[in-house]
Chain A
Amino acid sequence: MDQQLIQLLVNGIAVGSIIALSSVGLTLTYGILRLANFAHGDFMTLGAYFTLVINLLGVNIWLAIALGSVLTIGIALLSEKLLWAPMRERRATSTTLIIISIGLALFIRNGIILIWGGANQAYDLPVASALDILGIRVAQNRVVVVALAVLVIFGLHYLLQNTKIGKAMRAVADNVDLARVSGINVEQVVIWTWVIAAGLTAVGGGMYGLITAVRPNMGWFLILPMFAAVILGGIGNPYGAIAGAFVIGIAQEVGTYWIPTEYKLGIALLMMVLVLLVRPQGIFRGTL
């Protein structure tokens, strides 16, 4: 394999990590809240912008990402309170919810343009030399991005398998009515789902800003690969979404070896179409 291909593979793993973080949130909101949230990508953008604002105040970038995700969680909870909870109460259909989420996506994106403008922006980062791993140059940020993603994924696994709230989340995903009659506080599970989904997505967005420019449509353009990863891994299955995200991320980046960069989104879409045609339930089973 030549140098450039390996370089692209490394990039793919970094992008895959970011897609993994955010698509886990997307698949959880789908599995637990039965909501295909098209505003998910824009929550990611929001995370990046909050990170930017805090970072430009002189705060260390990693701390800024953490604070930015706390703020994003706040906005997600606000949307739960103002939008999703009342709509669930009225037993809105999933189509209605999808349309509302598209509206919310537009609202957030244009809100961002209104407040911060449409131009590309960048974090204020100290200059760090790229690491040299066996002749491959890897920016330090990308290493941290991958490490952080792996850490978060193990944390999520622990939460889902071993904690009371994690088990309750899986129970609600299985059967919300049975969860209710078992005495599970479904409203509390919903809140936790938002905290985790929005938190992971915002961290993903904050880190995405490290490897690309911070711009209003950064998350929106990532929503397609995210949905592709979610579908690839079996809708509702976070482990599947993680695997799907790495497959999509790597395929997208490595694909640019042969085809122009502009078409890399097409690779994600092509994979999504193929999976839907051949194995619509996804590669893994679609439950938590």
Chain B
Amino acid sequence: MTDPAPLLRVEDVYAGYINDLDILQGVNFKIYPGELVVVIGPNGAGKSTLAKTIFGLLTPRRGTIVFDGKNIVGLKSNQIVQRGMCYVPQIANVFPSLTVDENLEMGAFVRSGSLKELKDRIYALFPRLVERRKQRAGTLSGGERQQLAMGRALMLQPKLLILDEPSAALSPQLVNSVFELIKRINSEGISIILVEQNARKALAMADRGYVLETGRDRFEGSGPDLLNDPKVGELYLGAGRGH
């Protein structure tokens, strides 16, 4: 089987917020160009920590993270952004006192020169934001904020987008539209790592998925395989409990 070079490779990574207390305990992870990979797992398994570590917000104590053929351990977030990876945090993912327009500009801070074309592309993707462009982001609804947060992260046309629980705190209807959006972004060739609580829905549309448990990758497989795996189902998808 030919194995093309992965876009991102995380190998045997240990990391945590304080010394001697690693949340991630030897996690492995891979994503290939164009893939949509879902990371699920119980609370405290290290899903968000993995996302933060990949993005340089935490420095791994051990292990390697290779993005696009280069080691990115020890780089700061603003340097990682320049290499074509963007990240949408779970909460507080827009600048509330900046306007929608300014929020998008901040997404392309590392770029110099006119941002008009980049912004127009985002507005084409999220027409809802156009009428709000001069409005402060703090006045947006939950769904609009999520669109703005993704728009900000897409300003640089990244190769890889990391989304940390984009469906958290949204109504079920909005969750569907956010997932639609994620699929659409992915279909444009952007690889996406999706960290989700909403495991069933996320796995259904993913190319592959990882199940994390206590800071390690417990299961790995294609979306449908994980969905149908009785062990995964019982432990993490709530099956067998009279669903």
What residues on A are CB-neighbors of B57 within 8 Å?
177, 180-181
**In the bound complex, CA of A180 to CA of B76 (Å):** 8
- Contact between B78 and A185, CB atoms less than 8 A apart: yes
Number of A-B contacts (CB under 8 A): 71
The answer to whether A287 touches B105 (Cβ under 8 A) is no
Query: Which residues on the B side are within 8 Å of A180 (C-beta)?
Result: 57, 76-78
Beta-carbon contact of A182 and B97 below 8 Å: no
Task: Decide yes or no: A183 and B89 within 8 Å by CB, A170-B98, A171-B95 being known contacts.
Answer: no
Residues of A within 8 Å of B156, CB to CB, are 183
Question: Is A179 interfacial (CB 8 A cutoff)?
Answer: yes
Asked if B109 and A175 make an inter-chain contact with CB atoms under 8 angstroms apart, the answer reads no
Contact partner of A174 (CB less than 8 A), chosen from B86, B87, B96, is B96
- The chain B residue with its CB closest to the CB of A236 is B97
- Nearest CB of chain B from residue A138's CB, rounded to whole Å: 38
B55 at the interface (CB under 8 A from A): yes
Is A184 at the interface (CB under 8 A from chain B)? yes
Across-interface contacts of A174 in B (CB, < 8 A)? 95-98
Closest Cβ of chain B to A278, distance in Å, is 24
**Does B110 make an interface contact (CB < 8 A)?**
yes
For residue B68, CB closer than 8 A to chain A, the reply is no
Q: How close is A185's CB to chain B, nearest CB, in angstroms?
A: 5
Distance between A215 CB and nearest chain B CB, rounded to angstroms:
39
Task: Determine whether the beta carbon of B96 is less than 8 Å from that of A181.
Answer: no
**Which residues in B have their C-beta under 8 angstroms from that of A167?**
98, 102, 105-106
B139 within 8 A of A: no
A186 contacts the other chain (CB 8 A): yes
Q: For the complex, is A90 an interface residue (Cβ under 8 Å from B)? A: no
A168 surroundings in chain B (CB, below 8 A)? 106, 109
User: Which listed residue, A175, A177, A182, touches B107 by the CB 8 Å rule?
Assistant: A182
**Which one of A171, A183, A287, A288 contacts B110 once the chains associate, using CB atoms below 8 Å?**
A183
Q: Which residues of B contact A170 (CB under 8 A)?
A: 95, 97-98, 102
C-alpha gap A145/B117 in the complex (Å): 44
List 27 contacting pairs A-B, 8 Å CB cutoff, sorted by A: A167-B105, A168-B109, A171-B95, A171-B98, A173-B97, A175-B92, A175-B95, A177-B57, A178-B92, A178-B93, A178-B94, A179-B106, A180-B57, A181-B57, A181-B77, A181-B86, A181-B87, A181-B89, A182-B81, A182-B106, A182-B107, A183-B86, A183-B108, A183-B110, A183-B156, A184-B109, A185-B78
* Partner-A contacts on B (CB < 8 A): 55, 57, 76-78, 81-82, 86-87, 89, 92-98, 102, 105-110, 152-153, 156
6 closest A-B pairs by CB: A183-B81, A174-B95, A287-B97, A183-B110, A184-B109, A180-B77
Known pairs A168-B109, A171-B102, A171-B106 / 7 extra A-B pairs, C-beta < 8 Å: A167-B102, A170-B95, A178-B94, A180-B76, A183-B82, A183-B109, A184-B106
